[in-house]
């Protein structure tokens, strides 16, 4: 999985007050001693990437997280923190233990706060910070006051690299806008704005399954099933992205369910 968990399309807030504090999880999975040199840090980063590749398991991604945290240098020029955040994203969704999913979401947010505080030049820290916040809000069922932060992070991703993660900034912001459009005072944007961002992601990557599913689910959300159908049909024919075969299988399964529901509603 290249960064984005299947929930992203993305997890989003439902309602209530801010997310649980991420500070409580800083001591999860003690990373051990840090790198003694930049050469050792590079090896640890490469190890984190290797451990994160498919087939992903809780133990392999936890090991990736540990290696990434051990690789953090003062300026984090190698991107160790965003790799740790990436691992936290996966673990917050797929770890078999419910309490662990919460702890990893919290840890991802805590690492993200440190990462974006350094004003990184690449899109990855902003992207994964947005995802981890979304996951934490989804798990806790709270987070209205985080919506603005998630929007700002997604806009930063778009400004730096609108193509990153197959249009991930546009995809995240699109879903955030339409799913929060009906929340007074806290909405990230309108449903129409959300659709425009989703269409932009699909324009850049027309065969990427997550983009097709995201736009289809927008049309289902606004009760336009017939406009969702073409995207779902294209999804079923979409190629498997590199290192996202498990996620692609989930997208296909969800797409099939949506099509079945549309056909049942039509009688």
Burial class (CB in 10 A: 0-12, 13-18, 19+), 98: exposed
Look at residue 31 in the predicted model and tell me its pLDDT.
Answer: 66
At 224, list the tokens: 């336009």
**Angle in degrees, CA 170, 172, 84, rounded to 5:** 115
* pLDDT bracket for residue 20 (50, 70, 90): very low
Identify which of 190, 246, 253, 245 has the alpha carbon closest to the alpha carbon of residue 218.
190
Residue 267 banded pLDDT, cuts 50, 70, 90: confident
Residue 7 to residues 10, 131, 132, 266: CA-CA distances in angstroms? 4, 9, 11, 28
Radius of gyration for the chain, computed over Cα atoms and rounded to the nearest angstrom: 18
Minimum mean pLDDT range among 5-9, 75-79, 156-160, 262-266: 5-9
Note the pLDDT tens digit of each residue in 146-171.
999 999 999 999 999 999 999 999 99
For residue 47, count other CB atoms closer than 10 A to its CB.
17
pLDDT of residue 55: 97
Is pLDDT above 90 for 45?
yes
Q: Other CB atoms closer than 10 Å to residue 200's CB: what's the count?
A: 18
């Amino acid at each position: 999985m290249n960064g984005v968990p299947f929930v992203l399309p993305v997890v989003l807030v439902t309602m209530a007050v801010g997310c649980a504090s991420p500070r409580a999880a800083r001591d999860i999975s003690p990373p051990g001693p840090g790198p003694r040199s930049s050469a050792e840090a590079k090896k640890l980063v490469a190890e984190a990437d290797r451990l994160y590749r498919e087939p992903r398991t809780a133990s392999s991604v936890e090991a990736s997280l540990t290696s990434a945290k051990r690789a953090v240098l003062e300026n984090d020029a190698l991107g160790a923190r965003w790799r740790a955040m990436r691992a936290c994203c996966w673990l917050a969704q797929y770890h078999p233990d419910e309490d662990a999913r919460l702890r990893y979401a919290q840890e991802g947010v805590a690492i993200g706060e440190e990462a974006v505080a350094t004003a990184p030049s690449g899109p990855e820290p902003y992207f994964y910070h947005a995802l981890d916040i979304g996951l934490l809000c989804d798990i806790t069922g709270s987070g209205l006051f985080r919506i603005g932060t998630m929007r700002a992070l997604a806009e930063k991703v778009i400004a730096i690299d609108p193509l990153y993660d197959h249009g991930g900034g546009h995809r995240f912001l699109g879903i955030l806008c339409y799913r929060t459009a009906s929340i007074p005072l806290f909405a990230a944007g309108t449903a129409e704005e959300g659709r425009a961002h989703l269409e932009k992601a699909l324009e850049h990557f027309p065969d990427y399954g997550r983009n097709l599913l995201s736009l289809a689910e927008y049309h289902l959300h606004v009760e336009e099933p017939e406009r969702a159908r073409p995207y779902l049909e294209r999804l079923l024919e979409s190629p498997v992205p590199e290192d996202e075969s498990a996620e692609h299988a989930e997208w296909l399964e969800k797409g099939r369910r949506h099509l079945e529901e549309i056909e049942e509603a039509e009688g």
